[in-house]
A and B are shown apart, each in its own frame.
Chain A
C-alpha cells in the first residue's frame, strides 16, 4: 500500500487553524465533514475556545453544471444504445457502426462546446466567464483527443487515408489558421490532393499513389536545385516547404498553432503515405522540433503522443489525470472495449478497467438529484459490481417527494432488489405514520410485505375508528384484495370494514354472520370485542330477527367471556369493565338485547319448523 503515483493533492480547509487542534472528519453519503477538534479525550479541554465550524466538502463533480448536464443526458442515450446493439455488431458493418457511435459522441461534445462557448463570450461576469472558458478548453481538448482516437483506434485508417483523416483532424481543430497560412501550408496543394486521393471511387492503389507522389517530389527538388526560384526567396521557401523541409516549415512557426499541426503538415509534404505504426517517430520528432527545447510538453501533448504511439492504456491513464471528470474516460474506454481493444486486467474494483471507470462515473451521477437515473443504466451494464454498487447508492437517495420515492422503488422492483424495496417502503411507511397518513402507511407496508408494520398500522386505523366512529382511507381498505392476508390484524381490518359495508347495504344477515365469525375465528383482537358486540346491538334491535338462536348463544358466550374477569396482559381488565359506568351500562344493554333476541329467534325457528 505504499506506492504513490505522483504527489497527493493537498486541499486546505479555511479556518481550521492552530497548532494544537486536529481535524475530525466523517463521511456523509456523498460528501465529507471536517472540523477542528482535539482527539485526546480529556474532561477539561484546553481553555482556548474551540472552532465551531464544520466544513462540508465534496469532490469537484461536474455533475452540477447546467450545460454539462446535456452532455450527460445525450451521451447516456448513446451509451445505452451501444450496449444494446452489441450483439448485432458483426462482420464488416461492425467497424462502420462503431465509427458512427464515436462520431455521435463527438457531436454531443461539440454541441456542448458551442453552447459553452456562447456563454463564455456572453460577458456576464469575469468569474463565470473564466469558468466557462476553462470548460470550453477542456471540452475542446476532449474532442481533439477523442477525434484522434477515433482515427487511430476505431477507424483504424491505413496508410494513405490515414493522412487525410489527420489533415481533417487538424483543420477541424486548429481555430486560428488564417488565410496566409492556408496559402502556404495547405491550399497550394489542394488540387494536387484531389488528384491523388480522396476522390470518391478512387481506385488507385497505394503503390500507384506513392509512385506519382515520388515523381512529383523529385520534380520539385530538381526545380529547387536548378535555382528556378532563386530570384524569389519567398517562392524558394515555398518550394522547400512543399518538399517537407523541416527548417523551412519551422520558419513559419507562428502560423502553425501547435506541434501536431506541424506534424501533419510535415507528413503531408514528406511522407504522405505514412503508415500508422510509423507515426510515433514523426510525432516525437515533431514535438521536439516544435518545442525547440524552450518549453516542456503539456498534459495534452502527452496524451496525443500516447495516442500516436498506440498506447491506449497510457492515453486513458493520462486523460484520467488531466481531466476533471470521469465522463470522458468512462465513455471512451467503453467504446474502445467494444472495439475489443482493451486487454482485461484484474482489479479489486471491477473486473476490468472499463467497469472501473463506468462505476466511478455512475457513482458521481448519484450525487445529483435527478441525474442519478442515468447512473442506474450505467450500473446495469457493469456485470461484476454494478448491481451491488446500485444497491448501495440507491438507498441513499433522499425520498423528498412521493414521485421520487416511486421512481426509486420502480428501479428496485424492476431489478428484483427486494431488500432495498423493503427498506425503502418501511422508511416511507414510518414517515407516513408519523404524519398521520395511515392510508399511505398501509399501502407502503403492503408493498414492503411487512406484516409487523401492517399490523401496527391496522391497529392505528382501528384505534382511530374507535375514537372518531368512522374510517379514513376507505378506498384503500375496501380494495385490499389478497394483500389482506399479509397480517391477521390487516385481515381483521378489511373484514370489519366489509361488515360495515354489508350493514350499509342492508344485507343484515350476511353482516351478522361476518360479525360473529370475526370473534369466533379469533381474528378480532379481544380488545375490540366490546366494539364488535356494541356493533351487534342495532342488529339485535331490528324488527326482524337477524341472529339465529345458535348465533345468539355464541354472542352471549363471547360477552361472558369478555366480562368473566380473566385478565389478559394488555387488555382492559374485566374489573375495569365492571367499574366503568358506561361500560356497565353497555354490558347490561347487551345482555338484555341478547336475551330478547334469543327469545325471538327461538320462537321464530320453532314456528318455521312447525309449518
Chain B
C-alpha cells in the first residue's frame, strides 16, 4: 500500500522539558505523556482535538514511562521516574489523583508494564537497582508487593508481559472461580540478557529462561500480542545495535530461537508491536522509526521470491523540516 501515512493531529503538550513517553489509552481516545519536567499529563484527543484533562505532579525527577491499565479497572495510569518512585494515578469522580505510591527501589525505575487484565490489576516495574517489583491490587486501596532482587546485575531497563494464555479448561468455569493462568513476563537488562519470569504455584516468581544473544545492554523487550498462532514472539533491542526476534513453539515452551531482524549502526532504544502484532516499530539512534512486517512483504502477499527466508518491507518515519507525503 506504499504505507502512506500522514499526521492527523499534533498535540501541544506544553511540557517544559524533554518528553520521554507518550501512550494512547485502550481506545485511542486519551493520550498520556511524561517528561523531564517531572509532570505527567493527560489529554483527550478525540476527533482530532486536544483537551488537557490532567497535569499530574508528584514525581521529583524526570518521568520515564507511563502505562494505561485496562479500562475495566477504570481510568488508571502508572508512571515511573528517576526519583525511584512508581506512582499509580486514578480518575475518581472526574478528577485524577494519586492513588498509590511505590517507593521500594533504590534507584531510577525505568519501565512499567501492566499485566494482561485477566490476571487482575498487576504492575511490573524494572529499575536501575537491578530489581523488578510486582504490584498487585488486592482491593480497598491496598497493593501487595513482590520483589525480585538482582533480576539483572547493574540494572533492569525494560519489562514486558506475555499475553494471557487461556488454559484449556477455561470454558464453563463456575462463576467466581479464578482460572489458573500461567503468568509470565520478560525483562531486559544491563547484563545483556533477556530473562523470562514465571509465577510459581506458591506465588513466587522464578527465572524460567535466559535469552542470550546481545553483546551489550538490552534496552527494550516487547512481547508480541497473541494472534492465535501457537508460537510466542518477543522482540529485543540493544546498545549493540541489533534487534532480535525470538520465537518459541509453545508446545515445549522452552526452546527460544533468535532471528536477527537487522543490525543498525547505532544504539536501538525502543521496540514496540502494533496491537494486532503485524508490525514491529523499531527506533534508531539515527532519528528514524522503522516499521517491519515479519515474513511477508507488507506491500505484497505471496510471491515465491519473497519467501527466501523471510521477506520484509520497511517504511521509515523520519524527522524533518517539511511535511512530505
Q: Which residues of A contact B (CB under 8 A)?
A: 1-6, 8-17, 21-39, 41, 43, 45-46, 49-60, 313-314, 316-317, 320-321, 323-326, 345, 347-349, 352-353, 356-357, 363, 385, 387-389, 392-393, 395-399, 418-419, 423, 426-427, 430-431, 434, 449-452, 486-487
- A55 to B11: give the CA distance in the assembly, Å: 6
- Answer whether A26 and B24 are a contact pair too, CB < 8 Å, given A13-B7, A392-B275, A423-B117: yes
- A145 to B201: give the CA distance in the assembly, Å: 61
B292 at the interface (CB under 8 A from A): yes
Assess the B1–A27 pair: CB atoms within 8 A.
Answer: no
Assess the A11–B288 pair: CB atoms within 8 A.
Answer: no
Task: Tell me the chain B residues, 265-307 only, with Cβ under 8 Å from chain A.
Answer: 267, 269-270, 272-276, 278, 281, 283-285, 287-290, 292, 294-297, 299-304, 306-307
- Answer whether A9 and B11 are a contact pair too, CB < 8 Å, given A60-B5, A321-B299, A423-B117: no
B283 to A: closest C-beta gap in Å: 6
Q: In the assembled complex, which residues on chain A have CB atoms less than 8 Å from the CB atom of B269?
A: 22, 39
A158 to B: closest C-beta gap in Å: 29
Q: In the assembled complex, which residues on chain A have CB atoms less than 8 Å from the CB atom of B20?
A: 24, 37, 41
Assess the A53–B11 pair: CB atoms within 8 A.
Answer: yes
Closest 3 CB pairs of A and B: A28-B24, A388-B228, A12-B320
A334 to B: closest C-beta gap in Å: 13
Assess the B72–A29 pair: CB atoms within 8 A.
Answer: no
B184 to A: closest C-beta gap in Å: 18
Task: Tell me the chain B residues, 11-52 only, with Cβ under 8 Å from chain A.
Answer: 11-24, 26-29, 31, 33, 35-36, 45
From A12, A55, A397, A419, give the contact of B322 (CB < 8 A): A12
B323 at the interface (CB under 8 A from A): yes
- Answer whether A52 and B19 are a contact pair too, CB < 8 Å, given A17-B319, A396-B28: yes
A392 to B: closest C-beta gap in Å: 5
Assess the B5–A59 pair: CB atoms within 8 A.
Answer: yes
From A43, A321, A356, A427, give the contact of B82 (CB < 8 A): A43
Assess the A31–B28 pair: CB atoms within 8 A.
Answer: yes
Assess the B228–A387 pair: CB atoms within 8 A.
Answer: yes
Q: In the assembled complex, which residues on chain B have CB atoms less than 8 Å from the CB atom of A34?
A: 289, 317
By beta carbon, the residue of chain A nearest B175 is A451
Q: Which secondary structure dominates chain B's binding surface?
A: loop
By beta carbon, the residue of chain A nearest B71 is A427
- A10 to B310: give the CA distance in the assembly, Å: 22
- Answer whether A33 and B302 are a contact pair too, CB < 8 Å, given A6-B313, A348-B294: no
Assess the A392–B72 pair: CB atoms within 8 A.
Answer: no
From A21, A357, A396, A426, give the contact of B301 (CB < 8 A): A357
- A475 to B166: give the CA distance in the assembly, Å: 37
B8 at the interface (CB under 8 A from A): yes
28 A–B contacts, CB within 8 A, in A order = A1-B262, A3-B308, A5-B306, A5-B313, A8-B316, A9-B2, A10-B318, A12-B322, A12-B323, A21-B287, A23-B287, A23-B288, A24-B22, A26-B23, A50-B36, A52-B13, A52-B19, A53-B13, A59-B3, A321-B300, A345-B301, A345-B307, A347-B295, A347-B296, A347-B301, A396-B26, A398-B29, A451-B176
B254 at the interface (CB under 8 A from A): no
B206 to A: closest C-beta gap in Å: 27
B182 at the interface (CB under 8 A from A): no
Q: In the assembled complex, which residues on chain B have CB atoms less than 8 Å from the CB atom of A25?
A: 270, 272, 281, 283, 289, 317
- A316 to B117: give the CA distance in the assembly, Å: 40
B77 at the interface (CB under 8 A from A): no
Q: A39-B283, A41-B110 are in contact. List 8 more A-B contacts (CB 8 A).
A: A4-B314, A50-B35, A320-B1, A347-B302, A356-B302, A387-B228, A396-B28, A418-B171
B153 at the interface (CB under 8 A from A): no
Q: In the assembled complex, which residues on chain A have CB atoms less than 8 Å from the CB atom of B141?
A: none
- Answer whether A3 and B310 are a contact pair too, CB < 8 Å, given A317-B303, A321-B300, A325-B1: yes
- A324 to B36: give the CA distance in the assembly, Å: 40
From B62, B229, B299, give the contact of A41 (CB < 8 A): B62
Q: Which residues of B contact A (CB under 8 A)?
A: 1-24, 26-29, 31, 33, 35-36, 45, 61-62, 64, 70-74, 82, 92-93, 108, 110, 117-118, 166, 171, 175-176, 219, 225-229, 245, 259-262, 267, 269-270, 272-276, 278, 281, 283-285, 287-290, 292, 294-297, 299-304, 306-325
Q: In the assembled complex, which residues on chain B have CB atoms less than 8 Å from the CB atom of A8?
A: 3, 290, 313-316
From B166, B309, B312, B323, give the contact of A419 (CB < 8 A): B166
- A389 to B300: give the CA distance in the assembly, Å: 19
Q: In the assembled complex, which residues on chain A have CB atoms less than 8 Å from the CB atom of B31?
A: 33, 54, 56
- Answer whether A317 and B300 are a contact pair too, CB < 8 Å, given A8-B315, A8-B316, A54-B11: yes
Assess the B320–A16 pair: CB atoms within 8 A.
Answer: yes
From B74, B281, B290, give the contact of A430 (CB < 8 A): B74
Assess the B3–A52 pair: CB atoms within 8 A.
Answer: no
* From A11, A27, A50, A51, residue with most partner B Cβ within 10 Å: A11
- Answer whether A9 and B21 are a contact pair too, CB < 8 Å, given A17-B321, A396-B26: no
B9 to A: closest C-beta gap in Å: 4
Assess the B17–A49 pair: CB atoms within 8 A.
Answer: yes
Q: In the assembled complex, which residues on chain B have CB atoms less than 8 Å from the CB atom of A395?
A: 26
Assess the B36–A45 pair: CB atoms within 8 A.
Answer: yes
Q: In the assembled complex, which residues on chain B have CB atoms less than 8 Å from the CB atom of A392?
A: 225, 227, 275-276
Q: In the assembled complex, which residues on chain A have CB atoms less than 8 Å from the CB atom of B315?
A: 8-11
Assess the A393–B309 pair: CB atoms within 8 A.
Answer: no
Assess the A3–B311 pair: CB atoms within 8 A.
Answer: yes
* From A12, A316, A352, residue with most partner B Cβ within 10 Å: A12
Q: In the assembled complex, which residues on chain B have CB atoms less than 8 Å from the CB atom of A37?
A: 18-20
Q: In the assembled complex, which residues on chain A have CB atoms less than 8 Å from the CB atom of B228?
A: 385, 387-388
Q: In the assembled complex, which residues on chain B have CB atoms less than 8 Å from the CB atom of A393?
A: 276
B190 to A: closest C-beta gap in Å: 12
Q: In the assembled complex, which residues on chain A have CB atoms less than 8 Å from the CB atom of B260?
A: 1
Assess the B62–A45 pair: CB atoms within 8 A.
Answer: yes
- Answer whether A45 and B17 are a contact pair too, CB < 8 Å, given A39-B269, A56-B45, A398-B27: yes
A32 to B: closest C-beta gap in Å: 7
By beta carbon, the residue of chain B nearest A325 is B1
By beta carbon, the residue of chain B nearest A486 is B175
Q: In the assembled complex, which residues on chain B have CB atoms less than 8 Å from the CB atom of A356?
A: 296, 301-302
- A89 to B245: give the CA distance in the assembly, Å: 44
Q: In the assembled complex, which residues on chain A have CB atoms less than 8 Å from the CB atom of B287?
A: 16, 21-23
- Answer whether A23 and B289 are a contact pair too, CB < 8 Å, given A14-B323, A43-B61, A324-B2: yes
- A38 to B71: give the CA distance in the assembly, Å: 30
Assess the B1–A353 pair: CB atoms within 8 A.
Answer: no
Assess the A56–B18 pair: CB atoms within 8 A.
Answer: no
- Answer whether A29 and B26 are a contact pair too, CB < 8 Å, given A52-B13, A324-B2, A387-B228: yes
Assess the A1–B24 pair: CB atoms within 8 A.
Answer: no
By beta carbon, the residue of chain B nearest A318 is B300
A29 to B: closest C-beta gap in Å: 5
